[in-house]
Amino acid sequence: NAGVMQNPRHLVRRRGQEARLRCSPMKGHSHVYWYRQLPEEGLKFMVYLQKENIIDESGMPKERFSAEFPKEGPSILRIQQVVRGDSAAYFCASSPPSGGPGAQHFGDGTRLSIL
């Protein structure tokens, strides 16, 4: 069973460009969570999605950030007009519909560097 797959593993962008981060959940998982980790920090919740639905985006910055989880294909975290402060590791986790606590599985993250 493949785990949560994130790509790319590393992404370099210049200020002002767009960054697209992809997350394919584990098979059978329909809930996706995105987290951001700054250096020497813990993960911070950003957004929680189910297929074709944003359930909670309270952790997302109000501007430039968006997320989607279409009926087909991976979940996408999109950052427009990136700035240096967006440099971080972005992690995706997935869980099954009936997932209780501890049911989340994490991907290995995308490390975004802004030049």
Partner 1 sequence: SQQGEEDPQALSIQEGENATMNCSYKTSINNLQWYRQNSGRGLVHLILIRSNEREKHSGRLRVTLDTSKKSSSLLITASRAADTASYFCATDYYGNNRLAFGKGNQVVVIP
CB 106 within 8 A of CB 43: no
How many Å from the N-terminal Cα to the C-terminal Cα in the chain?
A: 36
- Closest approach, Cβ 13 to partner 1, in A, equals 20
Q: How many CA atoms are closer than 13 Å to the CA of 52, on its beta-carbon side? A: 2
How many beta carbons lie within 10 A of that of residue 20, not counting itself?
14
In this chain, which of 40, 63, 72, 84 binds partner 1, going by CB under 8 A?
40
Binding-residue pattern over the window 42 to 81 for partner 1, x denoting contact by CB under 8 A: xxxx--x------xx-x-----------------------
* Contact flag: residue 33 with partner 1 (CB under 8 A): yes
Question: Any residues with CB less than 8 A from the CB of 79 and at least 6 apart, and which?
Answer: 18, 19, 20, 21, 64, 65, 86, 112
Decide if residue 87 touches partner 1 (CB under 8 A).
no
On whether the CB atoms of residues 90 and 109 are closer than 8 A, the answer is yes
85 part of the interface to partner 1, by CB under 8 A: no
Site string for partner 1, 91-110 (x = CB under 8 A): x-x-x---x-xxxxxxxxx-
- Residues near partner 1 (CB under 8 A): 4, 31, 33, 35, 40-45, 48, 55-56, 58, 91, 93, 95, 99, 101-109
